[in-house]
Chains A and B, each alone.
Chain A
Amino acid sequence: ELKEEFTRILKANNPYAPQNIVRYSFKKRAYKPINYVDQMAIHFSMNGNMILKDSDEGRRQSIKLSTTAAEKAPVETSAVTSEEAEIKDEDSTGDTQAAGEEEGEGSGTAEVAEAVEAVEAVEAEEPAPPRVKEQKLANRFNFIESASRTVNRPMQESACQTDPTPRKDFSATPTQWEIYDAYVEELQKIAMSKMKAKPKAQIAETEDKNKGRKLTPLESQSDDLPTFSDTAKVLERMVDQSGFDDIAQDFKYFEDASDEYRDQQGTLLPLWKFQADKTKRLAVTDISWNPKHKDLFAAGYGSYDFTKQGQGMLLVYTMKNPSFPEYIFSSESGIMCLDFHNDYPYLVAVGFYDGNVAIYNLNKATSQRSHKSSPKSGKHTEPVWQVKWQKDDIENNVNFFSISSDGRIVSWTLVKSGLVHTDIIKLSVEGTTTEGPEGLQLQNPGCGTSFDFHKEIDYLFLVGTEEGKIYKCSKFYSRQFLDVFEAHHMPVDSIRWNPYHMKVFISCSSDWTVKIWDHTIKTPMFIYNLNSAVGDVAWSPYSSTVFAAVTTDGKAHVFDLNINKYEALCTQLVVGKKKYKPTCIQFNPVYPVVIIGDERGHVTSLKLSPNLRKMPKVRR
């Protein structure tokens, strides 16, 4: 293999030159090949700085050199050498090193010529004016390029558009007559409102008118209060209950454990106390639980004192909010009694000290009574001591009975136009007649103080009087009584039928006694002497043998006939001070709570301890 011969031919053409160059010809609009390709290859190229002596630049340079040579003429030899060196220096500025030697040569020849010129110049120097030494020009072409570029962040387009403001259309046609009409209407409105307005507003309006400018906006700002009221109510109750938290807990869960050791005695645990500022002077005359809402009760306020008669109030409280009543109604005369309707739990019948009766509707927002009796419609002439709702009559009108000291028991029916009364019975004191004018025998009207209707026998009811007698009456007999019981020596304050035993009723009186009767028997079955005038007595709804009574010495007595026939299971002081006489007592139909109203306008609620709550065992 080593012996192989490789032939190499040297040619004149450039092996690196392209062999087929094609150029686009715009004239022919096509690519056309170029036949002749340049074969020249440049191996070395160098730019030199030799200038033709006779050109502009050459002449300029020679003049410059000659001036410098003339200045240094006296020192010839060294000067010449220094000149040479200078010249060399001058000329070699800007030269590349590669051309150094050539330049040296060039300068050498120039030097000779310049030396000759210098001699000539020296000769001609003296007469010639001194030449201005030309400033050494800085080489403007010897730049150093230095560039930099900041970072260009990328751009991004971002646009947004706001929502257009809400627009609305409006149109009207103001004309002379329309303007006039509008003014007239406005004036009328102002006149109306002036008549109804309160004095403050009137003064303000007249002031404004005097100024001559009165702004009367037709639009009134909407009142946000109604929407808050429900939430506010709930919040109020929550706050209240958290304030009375321990009491609420007691109410719900506390069971007096010491009852076991107490040998059938019980206690009353005080719970909330309901009172309001407005009723501070008034006595609680009657309380009644709402049949529908078991925590709602109404308390009527008035005064028992004949001399101190003022206004009356009806407050409806709920146990959920002990600090403020739910409803407040006020009246000119003291309220003596009240009753909730069983079927329409928002209707409250109320009897007044001045003999009127009225119906309040809790559904209506006003604080005025919805219906009221008047002297024309046959109100009583004496205080109304008790009112009680009856079943709706044939025409489905609500009606109630009222009893009063003027001896009349009146049935009131609520028809569309108002209250209509019907005298049911006129009480009279038996056996006493007075001589009236012209020898008429007048019956003295007896004074009824309380009554109660039988739960099942509709027409049967009992009436207690101021003389201490209890009459058994029927709705159908207007003059005669079915029976009479010589019950007490003093006015009968309260009569109640037993809710379970249809024959039994209880009566209490200011003669310190509480008596239990069977209405078929003339004499009482039980007599309890409580050492103080008894204000009110009530049967418990959960047991037929439990009842409670309040006395004017501030004590509440709870009896259970099943357990102890002769003594109270519990005798407890329930009102704050001795002078606050309790006036009425009621059991809550559902919870083991009693409420007691007293003469100072307080209503106290108490929880019955377990011993007092024993339900009788069902006998088989």
Chain B
Amino acid sequence: MLPIAVLVYPLPVSLTRAALTPLPPPAGAAAALALLWLLICAPGDAGCRLLTVADLFDRVIRHSGRIHSLATALYEKHFPPRDNELGKSARKCHTSGMLTPNGKEYAQKIPREELTHLILKLLQAWKEPLSHFNQHIEHYQELPDDSLSKAKQISNMVHELKTGVEKVTEKMQSMGIISNSLNGMASSEATGLSISNEANMMSDSDFIHCFRRDSNKVQSYLKILKCRIMPENSC
């Protein structure tokens, strides 16, 4: 299925490379497969077809939902939420500095490009800290295997999600749904890196707490974005 997909729908080479290179096998291969499946082929279709923006949105939303679920599972298993715990640590997420909409109306008001950029920025901000967190818990934490695999899974999925969102963004830009002004904002990669250093200083529980929150943010923004762009599509 994969070669056929590639043959029929040649992807931008850069994207494919970007998706494949950072991932070591076998997880990398699996992730690549999942990504390609995510981006190219609709599940259940006899063959692959050209995906609409709505399809892509649905997939990235679903994907972000899965990430959030995994984060929640991890959070609730190892860091059971207690009201006092919740407030005790004056935790400060490394993404707290980012100005993000904290409610529906705000999220609906800010420009689509900006919202898209925020999503990408959030995902980017977690990329490096997640892999760092993975290495960290692998070496220093005595977590059960399934938690470790969850953490790994989260890390990979965030990569995929970012790629997926980029794909959607490209598509929207190519269709003129959003302007290309996003390119100017892409320079924030560096700031993301600086943020991730901050993230590495967080405690595990704070880290999971913050990631869970941001994954929920991403999902919410994606949903808002989708319904803003395609209000007729199951919104």
A and B interact? no
